[in-house]
């Protein structure tokens, strides 16, 4: 959206805000409107957020007027508006862009969106999102990423801002530059979907708990084969319920780490 269109929206917003402050006079000069529009990059909502923050955080002068000039507008858009945005859609937009940039292996974009979140002081959302990404988007392609991220998150929470920005940036760059796999989230979501939509059937009797006196009389555990008694600690037997015995939830990702593991188990099974 053009700046001129944003300014028109701001003028309408000023009129509405005046209705909410009937006991106070509000004046927003032209330079302030221009600055809100220019700094919003065409985002009307962001511009109006900045205007609202400026009005709500500015005390009336001696004449009882809340005067929003360019200096006030600049101060709000450079600091307070970031915190304000974190309570609305912008918060989720930035987190979304943050995760998608990491998923897309764009380290520069990932650090940019991290900087926005750091500027807002939103340490908990950053930490939660980094820990999810480590398993959702990197997963078994680089399993150690989860441990590295957890360590960085612990450090960030212990340090607090401004120092927390450093381990958070480390975690972000580790994830952005790591090989990617979504096999973990695909596997668990497929299994959950079956539980909700399919008649999953009973647990195979040889897998049921047999640690009580009449268990074997009920057939529990009798035909269970203990894998550690066999070569390579493996013996083929049925683990899934009968109704799902041919189901494959885990599909290895196309990356070096999962390929090595897949090839190993293929040889063992053969």
pLDDT digits (tens, 9 = 90+) for 49-70: 888 888 887 888 888 888 999 8
pLDDT of residue 84: 44
The domains located in the chain, with CATH, are 3-79 (1.10.8.60), 89-177 (1.20.272.10), 183-269 (1.10.3710.10)
Which residues in the chain land under pLDDT 50? 81, 84
pLDDT of residue 91: 77
pLDDT of residue 109: 96
pLDDT of residue 86: 53
pLDDT of residue 119: 82
Give pTM, 2 decimals: 0.69
Element (H, E) at 26: strand 25-28
């Amino acid at each position: 959206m053009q700046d001129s269109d944003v300014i028109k929206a701001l003028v309408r917003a000023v009129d509405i805000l005046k209705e909410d402050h009937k006991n106070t006079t509000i004046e927003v000069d032209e330079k302030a409107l221009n600055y809100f529009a220019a700094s919003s990059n065409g985002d009307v909502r962001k511009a109006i957020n900045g205007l609202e923050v400026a009005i709500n955080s500015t005390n009336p002068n001696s004449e009882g007027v809340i005067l929003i000039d360019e200096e006030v507008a600049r101060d709000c858009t450079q600091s307070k508006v970031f915190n304000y945005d974190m309570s609305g859609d912008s918060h989720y937009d930035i987190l979304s862009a943050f995760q998608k940039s990491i998923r897309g292996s764009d380290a520069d974009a990932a650090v940019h969106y991290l900087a926005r979140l750091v500027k807002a002081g939103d340490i908990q959302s950053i930490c939660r999102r980094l820990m999810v990404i480590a398993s959702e988007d990197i997963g078994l392609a680089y399993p150690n990423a989860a441990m590295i991220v957890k360590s960085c998150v612990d450090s960030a929470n212990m340090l607090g801002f401004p120092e927390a920005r450093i381990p958070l940036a480390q975690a972000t760059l580790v994830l952005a530059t790591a090989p990617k796999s979504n096999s973990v989230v695909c596997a668990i979501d497929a299994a959950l979907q079956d539980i909700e939509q399919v008649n999953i059937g009973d647990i195979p009797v040889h897998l049921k708990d047999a640690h009580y006196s009449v268990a074997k009389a009920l057939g529990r555990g009798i035909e269970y084969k203990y894998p550690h008694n066999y070569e390579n600690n493996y013996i083929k037997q049925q683990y899934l319920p009968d109704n799902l015995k041919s189901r494959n939830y885990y599909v290895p990702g196309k990356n070096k780490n999962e390929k090595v593991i897949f090839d190993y188990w293929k040889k063992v099974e053969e």
